[in-house]
Amino acid sequence: MPDQVQQTEQYGVEHLAIIMDGNGRWAKTRGRPRSFGHRAGVEAVRRTVRNAPKLGVRHLTLYAFSSENWSRPADEISDLLGLLKFYVRSDLADLAAAGVCVRIIGSREGLKPDILNLINMAESKTAHNSKLYLNIAFNYGGRDEIVRAVQKVVDDPTGVVAKGGKLTVEDITAAMDTARGPDPDLVIRTSGEKRISNFLLWQIAYAELVFVECMWPDFDMEHLTAAFEEYRSRDRRYGGVVSAEGVAL
């Protein structure tokens, strides 16, 4: 866990976001059902939660279950939800002891009471921690998040809209699910697919994107470090240009 490891080289990635893709294909190549791949993916989550802080990460956002995933076969949905419950229940004590603050982002509308209770338990038991902020995107969709954020601002009786003011980028940013942390510096997607898939659409406007070929269950420290090296090789200009001194203008 994060407080049990020494930090190694720092890359300037404060917030890392990952689209964990490839569990099903990983299982298929081994002649196993998709559920086998999802279970192996949980081990990759554990490795990443341990490894990311070694490279200086303070905020880690993992795309666990999208709002579109409800269209998958019922048995696969049941297995995914079962794995979420298993991970939280089996790892929560260790995460809390290691200083990890767990936050669940995404819509909670329509979720069953057992899932809501699990979310509330994970967040309440780790709320005081600050060594690593672990955001788990569950029932999450980037467009839905933007709509919910705008609606929150519009409905605020003491907010800018109610007072006749002009809506700003800052107003919406403050209403997003990730408002308590910085925007991602780096987004990694595994499995070789080169899509964002409705993930953190607002927050990754200036993030660097790295697509790696390995399937998520195989993702380890070597893959993570390689992605960070790729990140370090790039110039982050935020829409500007770089001066002769290497400063973004």
Instruction: Indicate which residues carry an active-site annotation.
Output: 21, 69
Token pair of 211 as six digits = 């697509």
- The rounded distance, in Å, linking the Cα atoms of 102 and 96 is 8
| Alpha helix positions (H), 127-220 | 142-155, 169-175
189, 212 Cβ separation under 8 angstroms: yes
Task: List, in sequence order, every residue forming a beta bridge with 101; answer none if it has no partner.
Answer: 133
- The rounded distance, in Å, linking the Cα atoms of 181 and 105 is 12
Question: Which of 226, 222, 233 minimizes the C-alpha distance to 211?
Answer: 226
CA atoms within 13 A on the CB side of 97: 7
Question: Which of 48, 66, 24 minimizes the C-alpha distance to 221?
Answer: 48
